[in-house]
Amino acid sequence: MVASFGRDAFKLPSFPTSLAEVTSEWVTGVLGAPKRSDVTIRIPQARIGYGSEIGFLDIASDDPAVPSSLVVKVPPKDRRTREAVIQFGAFRRELMFYRSIAPHVPIRTPKVYVMELDAETGSGILLVEDCSQMKSFLFGQSPPTLDQLLQTVTTLAKLHAAWWDKTEALPQEVNRHDPETWNAWLADIQSGWQQWQSSPLSAYLDDAAAALCQRLSGDFVNCSNLRPSTNLTLCHMDFHIQNLFYDTASEEDPVVVIDWDSCGVGCGPHDLAYLMSLLPTLHRKDNESEILQRYHEELLANGVTGYDEEAMYTDYRIGSLLATSLQPVLLNLVALDSEALHLIGSLASRQLQMVVDHKAQQLLDTR
C-alpha cells in the first residue's frame, strides 16, 4: 500500500520541516510531477490533532498519476510541543511503520507518497493520501453509531490477530516496552498526574473522578505489574475516533486508520479500552457489551486461540486504567485556552468514569 517515495528519505539532507517551507517546487519535484503543475496549501483554522501540524495540498496537474490532493504532516511549530514530539520519536516511529509494517497489515491505512526524516534531529515530513472526503469523527461531535463502532472493532481485531503471539516478526525498532522503560514511563505519568491536579482541568471532575485522579497521582507506579508480557501483538497505542476515517463507499472494509506514530508491541484489548474510554460515557455504556463481544469473536475468527472472554475482560480493565495516561500527555502538548479546557476536561471525565465503572482502580492495590 506504500507508493515509491520519489527520493531516499534517509539520505537527502534538506526538506521542509514546517508548513511554511512547503513550496510548489518541492512538492512537484518529489512527486515527479510536471513543473507546470500548480500546488497550493490549505491550513485548517481548527487544529487537527496535537502531535503534528497538518495541511492540505491541492495539486493541479496535467499528469493523471499525480494526486489532486494530499495531506502534509510536519512536527508542531510550537517549540515546546515540537521538542516533546521529536523527543518521543513520533515521526521516526510513523515513518518506520509506513516503510516496514503498513505493506503487511490486513487493514486500510493511508497511501504514502513521500516520507522524509532527518535521522539526527528526528524531524520529518509526510505526504499521504487525503482521506478527508470520507466521514470523520471529532470528540466534541456525534460519536460513531453502533454499526460504525462494530466495523471499527472488527478492523482492530484483524490488526491484532495478524501479530498475535508473532511480534518477533515485527521490525526490531518497534517499541517493546522493556521493564525499565515501562517503569520509567509509569513514573513520568504519575508525576504528570500531580501536575494535572494543579491545573485548571481539575475543576471539570466530579467527586469520584477527583478522588481517582488523586490516587493516580500517587499510585500510578503500582501498574508496574500490569506490563503486558503474554498474548502480545502490534498495537496502535492511540486508537480513538479522531484517528479513523470511515469510507461509506466501501461497505466491506470502510475503516481507514491513521496516525501510527505511537505504535508498538502491547496488549490488544488496551487499544480497545482506549477507544471506548474516549467515547461519551452513556454512548459507551449503551454499546460496550456488544462491542466487547464483537471484538472477541473477530479475534477468534481471525485465528487467535486460547484466549477466553474472561481473560479479554481482565486485559480490558487494565487497558481502561492505562488509558488515563493520555491526560498528563495532553497537559504537556496543548495550550489550555477555554476551548481546550472544556474538551480535555470532558475527555478526562469520560476516561476516569470508565475506570470507576469497571472498578479498575482496584488494580492499583497490589504491586
Q: Does residue 12 form part of some domain?
A: no
Given a contact cutoff of 8 angstroms between Cβ atoms, the answer to whether 164 and 303 are in contact is yes
Given a contact cutoff of 8 angstroms between Cβ atoms, the answer to whether 236 and 262 are in contact is yes
Last residue of a domain, one of 100, 129, 158: 129
Q: Are residues 97 and 150 in the same domain?
A: no
Q: Is the pLDDT of residue 7 over 80?
A: no
Last residue of a domain, one of 99, 129, 159: 129
Specify the pLDDT at position 5: 38
Q: What pLDDT digit, counting tens, does each position of 27-63 carry? A: 999 999 887 889 999 988 765 566 678 999 999 998 9
β-strands 69-74, 53-60 pairing: antiparallel
Alpha helices in the chain (DSSP H): 24-31, 79-88, 90-96, 146-162, 179-197, 207-219, 268-277, 281-301, 309-323, 326-333, 338-357
Q: Are residues 168 and 284 in the same domain?
A: yes
Specify the pLDDT at position 48: 59
Residues 67, 58: Cα–Cα separation, whole Å: 9
Q: Are residues 298 and 354 in the same domain?
A: yes
What's the angle, vertex CA 57, arms to CA 51 and CA 63, rounded to 5?
Answer: 140
Q: What percentage of the chain reaches a pLDDT higher than 70?
A: 93
End-to-end CA distance of the chain: 43
Q: Is the pLDDT of residue 12 over 70?
A: no
Q: Is the pLDDT of residue 97 over 70?
A: yes
What is the mean pLDDT of the segment spanning 229-233? 95
Q: Are residues 120 and 143 in the same domain?
A: no
- Return the closest-CA partner of residue 155 out of 237, 240, 255, 249: 255
CATH number reported for the structural domain that contains residue 261 in this entry: 3.90.1200.10
Q: Are residues 154 and 289 in the same domain?
A: yes
Report residue 268 as a C-alpha cell. 490488544
Q: What percentage of the chain reaches a pLDDT higher than 90?
A: 74
Domain that holds residue 162: 135-365
Q: Does residue 159 form part of some domain?
A: yes
CATH number reported for the structural domain that contains residue 91 in this entry: 3.30.200.20
Domains: count for the chain: 2
- Biggest CA pair distance of the chain: 66
Q: Are residues 57 and 187 in the same domain?
A: no
Specify the pLDDT at position 51: 67
Q: What pLDDT digit, counting tens, does each position of 308-365 carry? A: 999 999 999 999 999 999 999 998 878 788 888 999 999 999 999 999 999 999 999 9
What is the mean pLDDT of the segment spanning 232-251? 96
Residues 257, 241: Cα–Cα separation, whole Å: 9
The secondary structure of 132-191 as a DSSP string is TTSEE--TTSPPPPHHHHHHHHHHHHHHHHHTTT-GGGS-TTSB---HHHHHHHHHHHHH
Q: Are residues 219 and 312 in the same domain?
A: yes
Average pLDDT over all residues of the chain: 90
Specify the pLDDT at position 301: 98
Specify the pLDDT at position 49: 60
Q: Is the pLDDT of residue 121 over 80?
A: no
Residues 94, 233: Cα–Cα separation, whole Å: 17
Q: Are residues 104 and 176 in the same domain?
A: no
Q: What pLDDT digit, counting tens, does each position of 127-150 carry? A: 999 999 999 999 989 999 999 999
